Structure formats: structure tokens, C-alpha cells
Amino acid sequence: MQTIPAEHDARQFELVQQASRIADRLETVRNQMHRLAGDRKDWIGRRQYWRRTAAEIVRDLESAAKDTNPNIRLRTQAAEILRTEADLLGQLAQLTAQIDAMEATWREHRWTRYFPCLNADGHVHTSLNGCPTVNRGHSQTAMGWATELSGLPLEEAIRPENLGPRLCSVCYPGAPVEHCRSLRDITREEREAERDRKVQERQAAAEAKEQRRLAREAKAAEPRKETPQERRWAALKAIGGRYDELSAQGREDAAKAIRELDELGKAPKWHDAIEAWAGAVLNEDYDLRWAFFQWSVYAANAA
């Protein structure tokens, strides 16, 4: 059966995480064992250590768990915590055996693996704990495992969309300097690029705003185009100002001047209003002034 590196490593990493959780639980139980046995911690340098060894604590608790112990509560607690420790040790041994078997499969094929350090300035390593640059303090370095990249070439793994060019120079001694940058440097470059992008966007927005302002000013400076309605109103006002001239020429000339307004509109009501106005001016039964100005109101309403 063919081994798929990504699937194999994903399963192994899951086992490693389970083993880590059990190891943490085992450490908690063993601290409880020390306290149950009456042990105390002393400061040595910058850390605290139990005064007695684990073997001494187990021996005392095994003695306390015997039926001959008259302290029933202590006897029950000692027996229970010893069973818990044994159970956790059994689970841890089982997981370790599975991990070792899967590690043997990897050693047989030796595909590429990538382990990014999870701290603020972490690099990518070739193993979880094998690099001397990790686990140098009192606590273990938080490590990840990019199992989805297992088996891929190094060039693919360090692409920006994957892990990025932040290889550990100890694990990858032959890697170019530009591939061994820190995460801080990479994120700084990303922040600078993002800042430059936002500056360019603001500049582009300001330029677009200025162009819109100039366009508005240019449009405002252009002569305003008169609307058809405004042309009709202007014509009505102009012919109203010519009444004295037209009345002196006679009704026929006044009606002719009014009918010339017909071409300024297309609506039937405009044509009807103009014709009614001209007809009223020609009607001898109407006073010319009255007909001229009274019937012009219909044309104004139709404009």
C-alpha cells in the first residue's frame, strides 16, 4: 500500500498531540502525588523543584495504599492516584509505540517535512524537537507541523502563500540568506507593502476627487443650454412686449406673429392653445388688447 506523506504525517501529528496532552495530564497527576505525600517545593535559581524524588513519592504512596493503613481517606486517595498514573503511563506507552512505528515508515522513505515554530518570530525546522535552537528555555518551544506540505519540494513550501521564506539556518545550512528571514521581517515587509498600497489608494482617490471637482467647475463655466420650455416662455414674454407694435399693424399681423410660436412645441395642447389664441385675436367681437393678453394665458399654461 502506497504511503501518502500528507495523510501519514497528519495522522502522526494527531498522535503526537494526543501524547502531549496525556503527558501534560501525567505531570499534573504527579504534582498531585507529591502534594498528597506531603512533599514541598524549594526555589533553586529561578525555578521550583520538589524536595523528594518521584521514586520516593511512589514508594510512600504504595505504602499508604495498603490495607493496613488505618487512614482510610489517605489509603483511598493514594490507591486512586496510583491507578490514574498507571493508566496514563499505559496510554502514553501505547501512543509512543504508534508514533515510533510511523516514524520508522518515514525513515524508510525520508520525504520532506516542515515544522514551523509558532512563536512570534518563528522559523521553519526539519523536526519537532531535533534542532538545538528550540526548547532552550525552561519551557518547550511551541511547534507546529505543516502536514499538508509534507512531501512537497522546498521551493513550494516556502512560497508566500504557504510557509514563506523563513527557514532555520541550522536545519537548512545550505539555504540562501533570502530564504532564512524571520517572521518579523516578513510581516514587516507585508505591513510596509500594505501601507504603501493604502497610500497609493488615498492618492488615487484624491486625484479622482480633484478631477471630479474640475469637471464640475468646467461644466458650471459652460453656457447653460436653454430648455424647450424656457424657450417657449421667453418667446411668450417677447411677443407680449411687442403688443403695441403688433396692434398698430392690425389683427392679421398679430395673429401671424402668434402662429409663428407654434413651431416651438410638439404637444397637441400647445398647438391648440396657439391656434385658439390666434383665433381670439382675429375675432372682431373681442377687444384686441383683451384677446391678446387674456388668451395668452392658455398658451402659457400649455408651455
C-alpha distances in Å from residue 292, one per residue of 132, 248, 270: 109, 13, 16
Q: Identify any residues that bridge with 48 across adjacent strands, giving them in sequence order.
A: 43
Using one digit for the tens of pLDDT, what is the confidence trace for 214-226? 888 888 777 777 7
Q: Which three three-digit cell numbers place residue 71?
A: 487512614
Q: Among 166-180, 186-200, 278-292, name the most confident range.
A: 166-180
pLDDT at 187 over 70: no
CB-facing half-sphere around the CA of 1: CA atoms within 13 A: 5
Contacts of 253 (CB under 8 A, 6+ apart): 246
**Better-predicted residue by pLDDT, 213 or 183:** 213
DSSP 202-218: HHHHHHHHHHHHHHHHH
Domain locations in the chain? Answer: 1-111, 228-302
Using one digit for the tens of pLDDT, what is the confidence trace for 249-283? 888 888 888 888 888 878 888 888 888 888 888 88
Average pLDDT over residues 150-155: 92
Indicate the range of 146-150, 209-213, 232-236 predicted with least confidence.
232-236
Amino acid at 132: P
Using one digit for the tens of pLDDT, what is the confidence trace for 59-77? 999 999 998 888 889 999 9
Give the per-residue pLDDT at 215.
87
The whole-model pTM stands at 0.59
Burial of 141 (0-12, 13-18, 19+ CB in 10 A): middle
**Better-predicted residue by pLDDT, 180 or 204:** 204
Contacts of 153 (CB under 8 A, 6+ apart): 112
